[in-house]
Amino acid sequence: FEVGDGPEYPILIYITVTFDAGAHGTFAGAQQQTTERVRRGTVLDATTVPTANANAGYAFTGWTPSNPVGHTVLAAITFTAQFDAREIGINVDNDGDITVTVPEGDSYNVDSNGTIVITLPDADPEDNITVTLPNNNWNYEISEDDDGNIIVIITRPATPGPGPGGPVGGGGGITVLPDTQVPLDPAPERFFAPYHNAFLVGSPDGTVRPQANITRAEVATILFRLLNDEFRASVWSQSNNFTDVSSDAWFNNAISTMSNAGIITGNNGAFRPNDAVTRAEFAAMIARFFTEFEAEDVSYFVDIEGNWAEDYINLIAQFGWIQGAGDGTFNPNAQMTRAEAAAIVNRMLERVIDGQDGLLYGRTRFPDVTNANAWYYLYLQEATHSTLFERQENGRVVWTTILPHLDWTVLERPHSTPRAIEAARQVQMEAADDVA
């Protein structure tokens, strides 16, 4: 007989398909791996694929390199189960910034009461979800919404107060105000100029010293410089009743004018110009511009009740300009830093930069403000530069031109007049044209 005679029988080829439970799961019987031998060309279906059970704190999300169901087996292959950590964390750092950590692909939002709602769309009610909170004052509950998504509802400490963002104006993060307090519009443009001129200057060594204290005289000078021309002229003064502010002091015009406007006060006849300003004092100086408003009967911070500046603090917290340390405190008697002062002023004047893209090349590089992730980085960029800008739909600003600094000294000499700033501003703009 010859080769080829007789009936033909197909050659059956079997291939091993391996299923691996990965680092964060197991299969039935606590197995880590299981195999199936199937004929070449088999299309895998759900009955062939084992159920991957997630370890505590994880949720099954799929397989790599692809979903086994529907796969045509032509060669040996291993499918590995993938899991996402169902770990949710709330962290409050030393600057008061709140970081919300959620599994990849999930989202969260903050409602008007400060409640953080995290949506886990692909979670299952039986998933193990680990929630780590800063302390026992925070609470959470896990439930299911109308769309079948698992949600984690995290409530912050019950004490009313602003959200994260750093002590007296730290970083960004979540700022939450009760609905009843949002509509107030203090209209700071009634008092302050629309120009975005630098109001903080560096030290002779080229540093800004963001964490250094700021003095009472420096704060009075900042506010004085930022006034609009009309209001400054209406309250202009070069004399005061303070025993420690002489007529030849560099800050005399600023302190005299701000005292005449009722914005700053002294104690026992003295102003203490070279003392570091406290958080309470700074809040009071800002709030005195807006005396027609009254703070609502709610305390934003647990440590200001009975403080002489309680109403002032609550008022500008109500405006959203100051924020606490994330633990419900304000620390009214602590000394204000230069970075904190810059943050508050920028918020009040709506001079908040729209992220890194809002800056321009050619800006001054300060050796002690190099960390672009620092909560105060953008606040100090705005505070130390004079610019033209465009306002975005979100209310934040994008620089379009960096200007030469305005010569503020024309307002600070013994024989200065309030209108001298107008000529200085013209010189500034002409110099900008020359540079352009």
3-state secondary structure at position 116: strand
Report angle CA 324, 327, 331 to the nearest 5 degrees.
50
Overall pTM > 0.85? no
| Whole-angstrom distance, CA of residue 157 vs CA of residue 327 | 8
Query: What is the pLDDT, as a whole number, of residue 2?
Result: 44
| Whole-angstrom distance, CA of residue 228 vs CA of residue 418 | 10
Amino acid at 242: F
Specify the DSSP element, H or E, that contains 215: none
pLDDT at residue 90 tops 60: yes
Of 49-63, 163-177, 254-268, 332-346, give the lowest mean pLDDT range: 163-177
Residues 6+ apart with CB under 8 A from 13: 39, 40
pLDDT at residue 9 tops 80: no
Taking Cα atoms as reference points, which of 223, 276, 283 lies closest to residue 253? Answer: 223
Query: What is the pLDDT, as a whole number, of residue 300?
Result: 87
What's the pLDDT band for 225 if we cut at 50, 70, 90? very high
pLDDT at residue 358 tops 90: yes
Taking only the tens place, the pLDDT of each residue in 362-405 is 999 999 998 888 999 999 999 999 999 999 999 999 999 999 99
Mean confidence (pLDDT) of the chain: 82
Pick the residue with more confidence: 36 or 57? 36
Residue 399, beta-bridge partner list? 389
Query: What is the pLDDT, as a whole number, of residue 174?
Result: 31
Maximum C-alpha span of the chain = 129
Query: What is the pLDDT, as a whole number, of residue 5?
Result: 53
Task: Beginning with the edge strand found earlier in the chain, give each strand of the sheet holding 107-110 in spatial order.
Answer: 107-110, 116-120, 150-155, 139-144
| Whole-angstrom distance, CA of residue 221 vs CA of residue 418 | 14
| Whole-angstrom distance, CA of residue 365 vs CA of residue 83 | 44
| Whole-angstrom distance, CA of residue 294 vs CA of residue 313 | 11
Share of the chain above pLDDT 70, in %: 78
What's the pLDDT band for 360 if we cut at 50, 70, 90? very high
Interstrand relation of 130-132 and 116-120 (parallel, antiparallel or unpaired): unpaired
Taking only the tens place, the pLDDT of each residue in 75-87 is 889 999 988 766 6
| Whole-angstrom distance, CA of residue 126 vs CA of residue 120 | 13
Pick the residue with more confidence: 255 or 145? 255
| Whole-angstrom distance, CA of residue 81 vs CA of residue 50 | 10
277: left (phi over 0), alpha (psi -120 to 50) or beta: beta
Residue 166, beta-bridge partner list? none
Taking Cα atoms as reference points, which of 380, 378, 384 lies closest to residue 359? Answer: 378
Query: What is the pLDDT, as a whole number, of residue 297?
Result: 79
Query: What is the pLDDT, as a whole number, of residue 99?
Result: 64
Query: What is the pLDDT, as a whole number, of residue 168?
Result: 30
Query: What is the pLDDT, as a whole number, of residue 169?
Result: 30
